[in-house]
Amino acid sequence: MNKTFISTAIDYVNAFPHIGHALEKIFADVFARRERLLGKEVFFLSGTDENSLKNVRAAEKAGVSVSEFVNKNTEKFFELKKAFNLSYDDFIKTTEERHVLGAQKLWHACEKDIFKKIYSGLYCVACETFYKEDELKDDCCPIHLTKPEFVEEENYFFRLSKYQDYLEDLVEKEKIKIIPQSRKNEILSFINGGLEDICVSRSSERAGEWGIDVPGDPSQKIWVWFDALANYITALDFGENGDKFQNWWQNNDRKIHVVGKDILKFHAVYWPAMLFSAGLNPPNIIFAHGFITVGGQKISKSLGNVIDPFELAEKYGADGVRYFFLAEFPMAEDGDFTYEKFEQRYNSDLANGVGNLFERVLTMVLKYGVENIEPAGADQAILDLCSQTEKSYSGKMANFQFYDALKDVLLFVGAMDKYINNKKPWSLLDDKSDQTKEILSDLMFSLEKIIFWLKPFMPSKMGKTENYLKNLGEQKEKLNLFPRIQ
């Protein structure tokens, strides 16, 4: 359990990223950073899905070539890394040669379960999937609420129905653990409802001649989901069966996917079946997060409520935005963003909470004399509280309960404020008493704990604060950790 592979979903690049895209990356990044702090080896993967039909149509609408269009938008998605201080180890694009070779290799490995037939059905371009009539909502896609297109052509199919029992056992016995439990129940219900074979190609003509050729049949392009799901292994050099693939996928029992709840079916049903057909190991954990709305409404260009993540990070700072998304609502549920909520949360938790505590303690330490203070846990009550908080926090972090883990940290911050109010160390600063020295040492010990707990969430702020404390005696400017938003 010393290795962790963690991935986000790869994003369609038919438009620039919005805050929902940033949210998923931040969430996975917090987990990756926590694992590294615990001494684990981590491979963190993200990327972009460049082969979808929606990308082709968006490029046509923009009046530019598909390659020019996807390259421009992919660059914006990659810029999220810098904007939000994300710690990807790799970023894969599905037009890369390593991906094309790997996706075609996976197709070959599944060929015993692939067959061709004429098919007609209702296809949602936004979802890149077929729907049955009883799955529609008012004759529309249940996710995008747009009318699907009727498609009739000869395509390749994958024998998903063959793996019904395998998939049921995999999910039921948590050989793949799906978080939260409610999503596991949804997937089991879907499987138990009876699995049908799925279409895994589309005609090259309908695909706009864009995408990955079906091996041996250039008249067909590999279905974008079969292609896209392969990214988790093509980024690990599956195409060349390299050491990276063996090390991080085949011989690793800690492979985690972080995805939106709307694409859970593809990751928890289609993907494991494809892997099993190819003789490869499945992922171990799939976390399905909720959606984010803006002012109670789904993010939509037509509603004019799209929030630019880059502008948000520029205005409030990456760490403040990272904190808000993880502290405002449990990630397994839907959450809502407004600027009012953001500023209220920032001021209450960070400016008046964490920032105020650091300012109070450091002001007293500097007045007492930095050279006389060493962080130490001498007060048993503080040691006990640290231990209780660490145990609770660690359990929640391991189970992706970041919202609750941050609550633990804030409770600890509040307890330290009460400790200061009760002990009143400021009243004895001028006397340089040993009692005051012990109190301040305990408080410095507590600040170090808070930094460690908050580092995955706010790596830049906490890293700078850690360095500030290490060189406290040399600091000429007051630490203004979280200036209040007026």
Name the residues annotated as catalytic: 18, 21, 124, 127, 141, 144, 298, 301
Residue whose tokens read 């170090």 = 448
Distance between CA atoms of 15 and 70, rounded to whole angstroms? Answer: 9
Determine the straight-line distance between the first and last CA of the chain, rounded to whole angstroms. Answer: 46
Which 3 state secondary structure label does DSSP give 41?
strand
Residue 476: exposure state from Cβ atoms within 10 A (0-12, 13-18, ≥19): exposed
Torsion of CA 359, 362, 366, 370, to 10 degrees: -160
As a whole number of angstroms, the distance between CA 137 and CA 140 comes to 5
What region does 270 belong to: left with phi over 0, alpha with psi -120 to 50, or beta?
A: alpha
Q: Give the C-alpha separation, 202 to 51, whole Å.
A: 12
| DSSP secondary structure letters along 376-443 | ----HHHHHHHHHHHHHHHHHHHTT-HHHHHHHHHHHHHHHHHHHHHH-GGGGGGGT-HHHHHHHHHH
Place of tokens 């909470």: 353
